[in-house]
């Protein structure tokens, strides 16, 4: 690897350190994946618990906006413009809700 005409070479020790960091990161990610799988499959992951999250109006609006924009993109690709108009109106309403939180 050359950077500004300076040769930078990794020693065997540097490569070993880098490899150890990569493996450590991968093991951490795998452990987290197993934990999420465990929680999802346990009673904790049941849908009834979703309602106990107490999602704020702002976060709920952000989630709605993400969904609406995704649908808008899908319907735009399919050239279903009547649906796009309906979605655009709803997006405008959600943006008004989010505007309240931008002002604070």
The per-residue pLDDT for range 24-66, each reduced to its tens digit, is 888 877 787 777 777 677 665 555 566 677 788 999 999 999 9
| Neighbouring C-beta atoms of residue 12, cutoff 10 Å | 7
Exposed (0-12), middle (13-18) or buried (19+): which is 87, by Cβ within 10 Å?
buried
Inter-residue contact 97 to 65 (CB < 8 Å): no
Average pLDDT over residues 84-103: 92
Instruction: For residues 82-100, give the mean pLDDT.
Output: 94
- What is the Cα–Cα distance from 100 to 58, expressed in whole angstroms? 9
Is the pTM above the cut of 0.85? no
Vertex 15 angle, CA 14 and 17, to 5°: 65
Q: pLDDT (tens digit, 9 = 90+) per residue, 8-19?
A: 688 988 888 888
């Amino acid at each position: 690897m050359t950077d500004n005409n300076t040769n930078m070479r990794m020693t065997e020790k540097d490569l070993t350190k880098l490899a150890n960091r990569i493996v450590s990161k991968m093991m951490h990610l795998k452990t987290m994946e197993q934990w999420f799988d465990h929680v999802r499959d346990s009673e904790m992951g049941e849908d009834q618990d979703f309602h106990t999250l107490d999602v704020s109006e702002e976060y709920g609006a952000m989630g709605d906006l993400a969904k609406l924009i995704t649908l808008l993109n899908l319907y735009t690709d399919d050239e279903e413009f009547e649906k796009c108009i309906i979605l655009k109106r709803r997006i405008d309403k959600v943006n008004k809700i989010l505007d309240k939180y931008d002002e604070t």
